[in-house]
Amino acid sequence: MASKPSIPQGTRDFSPAEVSKRQYIIQTIKNNFEKFGFQPIETPSFENSDTLMGKYGEEGDRLIFKILNSGNFFFNKNKIELPESIEALQVNSAETIDINQRIELNKFTGKISEKALRYDLTVPFARYVVQHQNEIEFPFKRYQIQPVWRADRPQRGRYREFYQCDADVVGSKSLWQEVELVQLYDTVFTSLGLEGVTIKINNRKILSGIAEVIGASDKLIDFTVALDKLDKIGEDGVKKEMIEKGIAEEALLKVQPLFNFSGTFADKIKQLSELLASSEEGMKGVEELKFICDNVAVLGLATATLDLDVTLARGLNYYTGAIFEVAAPKTVSMGSIGGGGRYDDLTGIFGLKNMSGVGISFGLDRIYLVLEELQLFPETVAATSKAIFINYGDKEALYASKAIQKLRQENIKVELYPDNVKVGKQFQYADKRLIPFAVIAGDQEIASNSYALKNLVTGEQVSVDFEGLKNALLA
């Protein structure tokens, strides 16, 4: 007996209606990317393993899908020598593998797999810039909308195969790029009708400055990882974790203001200036944030709010300046729906030094869930036809097809029911497809060069000529 068809965990099929809604979001993002001067590129779905490995930290490396080399592999001494400890490894549980076993496993994996599915769009973009640097005009503004793959544990809004929608600028250190990216976020979400998002911003230099002021520069990552959990575990939980990581209690007294951080953007900038007065690095971060905030305030945002969140610490392994994260409106329970930041040397991993860049990403799947929950998809977003022509036979079908041909030239989605079957069955088909109109063209309509247009929602039926038909379907 044939096995029941299924798909891998963490992947999805999409119905016509779902694809139409996803394309609506993608097209809206794409249109605004291009409006802001970003150019499209595409990179392969898989890269050489050494392009990806070691770029995301140990946790990221573990989530990269590796591709088995073509050909047959027999684990014997004539082909590939299988390390004795491989059989003992529980590769699904990273905690059970010590460093020597991991090195041994990586060597073995390298022999049977030389390629991997891309984990994100940023590292392939860095590789693209370095490989094509002589063909690119800098600063280079690119956008990329393609799927990526991660061997992650699936959950709501998180999948193993998903799309990323990225926009980056490389080759410029100007903070005007950050100002524009804030505007881009605002413009896209306003275009989608998603009002009330919060664009959170912080700066790596501020986090470094705080660690410096409290004498914990060597504990920067531990400090920021704990601070990032403030909204989840509260002030006491954060302090407890910091102390467990070796940060002195007297150091925490110096950052007490961070736990009561509130007020307007300007108020927060003032508090940070006082806290970081003795840190040159920290004050650089304050000045950068002030520049972005002041100019965004003058230019204005349509529906989004820009907020300084000093606990924001995403991407510390590569962000060097501004850090962005977008929160959905408070009426929706959802994680971040976008994020990004400034990186001073991303292309350095491929040998091209001092190429500063800044970029943001939109979370397509989470944006979809938010729009669905808030019922923000326009009714016009549908995969269905606007009208179906009822088939009464070959003569009538030819008459209908002439009209269909002209309507399609006007970008109106229409179709002919292909078979001459009972009219009731054709109307039932239209109903299940959620097609709003039926066009009836029998002997009487052919004789008078007209069409009977029936509204399948209200039941109303009118007789129209071709212009009347076209205008009714365009309305």
Please state the residue numbers annotated as binding site: 120-122, 150, 164, 168, 314, 318-319
CB distance 121 to 146 below 8 Å: yes
What span, in angstroms and rounded, lies between the C-alpha atoms of 248 and 427? 75
403-407-410 Cα angle (round to 5): 155
Between β-strands 437-440 and 451-455, what pairing exists: parallel, antiparallel or unpaired? antiparallel
**Which amino acids are annotated as binding site for L-histidine, given as ranges?**
120-122, 150, 164, 168, 314, 318-319
Q: In what order do the strands lie in the sheet with 451-455?
A: 414-416, 387-389, 437-440, 451-455, 461-464
**Backbone torsions φ then ψ of 427, nearest 5 degrees:** -65, -40
Alpha carbon distance 211, 192 (integer Å) = 39
- Burial class of residue 52 (count of CB atoms within 10 Å of its CB; 0-12, 13-18, 19+): buried
Token pair 């806290």 in the structure block, residue: 275
Orientation angle between helical segments 16-35 and 176-191, nearest 10 degrees: 150
In degrees and rounded to multiples of 5, residue 121 shows phi and psi of -100, -10
Instruction: Give CA–CA dist 195/99, Å, rounded.
Output: 48
Residue with tokens 């003058």: 298
Residue 210 and residue 254: Cα distance in Å, rounded? 9
Q: What is the rounded distance in angstroms from the CA atom of residue 391 to the CA atom of residue 426?
A: 8
Please state, in angstroms and rounded to a whole number, the distance separating the CA atoms of residues 8 and 160: 9
The b-or-e profile of 145-166 (16+ CB within 10 A means b, else e) is bbebbbeeeeeebebbbbbbbb
At position 128, the amino acid (one-letter code) is Y
Q: Tokens representing 383?
A: 């995969």
